[in-house]
Structures are given as C-alpha cells and as structure tokens.
Amino acid sequence: MKDQVLPFEKPVIELKSKIAELKKFTSESDIDLTSEIKKLEDRLEKLESEVYGNMQPWDRVQMARHSNRPTTLDYINEIFEDFVELHGDRLYGDDEAIVAGVAKYNGTPVTVIGHQRGKDTKENIRRNFGMPHPEGYRKALRLMKQANKFNRPIICFIDTKGAYPGKAAEERGQSEAIARNLKEMAGLTVPIICIVIGEGGSGGALALGVGDHIYMLENSTYSVISPEGAAALLWKDSNLAQRAAESMKITSYDLNELGIIDGIIPEIRGGAHRNVAEQANNIYETLQKSLQKLTSYSKDELLEQRWEKYKKIGAYTTL
C-alpha cells in the first residue's frame, strides 16, 4: 500500500525519497556518495524534528484520519493475549463498527471494546467507516455488564467520526443507546480505562468513553463536532475547517489543558502508523500504570471518584 503523505510532512517525505535515490545510485554505480548521503540524513533528522515537533491542530486532525493509522484490532493484537471476539447485542444484530471481546492483559483477564474502522473501501463498508448503529453500543454495554459481573477491568478504544447518522439508526434509538451507555458505564464497579486512538467524534465516541482514566494518543482528537461541521455551523463555510480545528480545542494537548483527560500517550515520530508495535508498547505501559492504580480502589471508591471526576468538568461563574 502506498503511504499516504499529509501536506505538512511533504518536505520530509521528499527528502527521504531523495536519500533513497542516492543510496540506490551508490549501490548501482561506482560513484561513492556516502558523505553526501550522510549530510542529507543529518538534515532529515533536523527536518523531521522540526516538522513533527511543530504540528498544528489541523495536521493532527489529518494524522488522526490517516488511512494507515492503527485501528482497535491492530492494538488488540499487539497488546493483549488470547483475544476472543464476541458478537451481537442479543436484540437486533451484530454491528461490526464496534469490536468487543475478552482477552488477557499481562495475564490478567480484561474486556476490550473499541470502534473499528476499515483501512480500505471494502473493509470500511463492512465496518460502516467505524460509525456505529444502536446495536453496536448495545453490544458494547452487554459485554461491559458481563465484565462487571465477573469483575474484569474494561478497556475501551475510541476511534470514530461519530455515531452513524442514518434512518435505521434513528428508528432503533441511537439517542437512547448512547444515553444508556453513559449512565450504565457510570455505575459499573470495575475499572474502566478509555483511550482515544484516532478521532473521538461527539456522542458516538462518548458512548464508549465514560471511565476512570481517559487517555489520548498524542495525535488523536476529541470533539463535540468535526472541524468541518463546526465551520459549517458557525461560519456557514466548511472550508474553514482548519480554523475550526484551532478554535474548537480538540487536540490531546488542548484536552489535557482543559483537565478533561488524565494523560497524553506519546506517539512515534511521524505518527502511530510508522511503528505499530512500538506505539502499542507505549499504550501497554500506560495501561499498566493505570490498572495498577485503579485495581487498588474499592468498588465504592471507584464510583465516588468517577462522579468527582466528571462533576468538576465545566466553566461557569456567578453574576
């Protein structure tokens, strides 16, 4: 698969291909360009840290949407052992926009749930582009309750543009399904850890997002509406998405500053897709610390702290 190049990283990619060209030339001819290559490699190192060290909100939006960005299943395969996927909401059907199942994390049984995008058209159609119907959220809730019964921690991966805006979704109660998850998750007495790995789009993301610890990958986003949608609503012009991405405060750094998340999980330079195994390892380590802390609390403490956590989110004053 050809690597998708994002506009802001073009200079890096161009320099990389130039280096590759020179290397090829050197190996095929008698002219030695080793010192030139070395120079360019030094420049690349500098350029990369410049470009990826100064990513703007819009760059991160594009990174979060990168076609090769690792998905929930990619991370499940790297992080957990013995994953057994479980299907269906027992009411209507099985929504493949959400995957869920039991697995082991470092030997400990856990329940893992996440939005699942596709990486190509065929898989995206099967996964409905990671945009769930009510049955997806109801499957998630069914398995969270199972986790609660058997006292297993729950780990949620958030990666969706939003709940699917369709006719059938409304008929089957999209609002109710999301609302119920918010309420029921609040009352589960096992640790819940949520990690935004790509796009965290609105209520459809939130429905897997009520937890004790919330983390975001460095280049993920979490927002009430997509930048395009915000631009259309606020300024009647979806071309102003870049500006909306900045003013809506949707990056991991913004949410950390607003006190909504518990931490940022650093990304591989150039984006998580550059090295899935290494990225998964960063997540693994965050999970380890988080689980260690959360499993030390009693059920009552978990519920109380969850309330305290959400109670304080908001900005208001009095006249």
Q: Is 236 in the site for other proteins (CB under 8 A)?
A: no
Q: Which two tokens stand for residue 10?
A: 């073009």
* CA geometry: angle 195, 198, 204, nearest 5 deg: 75
Q: Is 25 in the site for other proteins (CB under 8 A)?
A: no
User: How far apart are CB 309 and other proteins at their closest, in Å?
Assistant: 8
Look at strands 192-201 and 154-160 and give their pairing. Answer: parallel
Q: Is 307 in the site for other proteins (CB under 8 A)?
A: yes
HSE (CB half, 13 Å, CA atoms) of 62? 14
Residues from 193 through 222 that contact other proteins (CB under 8 A): 202-203, 206-207, 209-210, 222
Q: Is 298 in the site for other proteins (CB under 8 A)?
A: no
In the complex with other proteins, which residue's Cβ is closer, 116 or 202? 202
132, 101 Cβ separation under 8 angstroms:
no
Q: Is 73 in the site for other proteins (CB under 8 A)?
A: no
Q: Is 13 in the site for other proteins (CB under 8 A)?
A: no
Adjacent-strand bridge partners of 155: 112, 193
Residues from 250 through 269 that contact other proteins (CB under 8 A): 250, 254-255, 258, 260
Q: Is 173 in the site for other proteins (CB under 8 A)?
A: yes
124, 155 Cβ separation under 8 angstroms:
no
Closest CA to 200 of 273, 114, 286, 76: 114
CA–CA separation, 182 vs 168, rounded Å? 21
Query: Which residues of the chain form contacts with other proteins (CB under 8 A)?
Result: 163-167, 169-176, 178-180, 182-184, 186-187, 202-203, 206-207, 209-210, 222-225, 230, 233-234, 247-250, 254-255, 258, 260, 303, 306-307, 310-311, 313-319
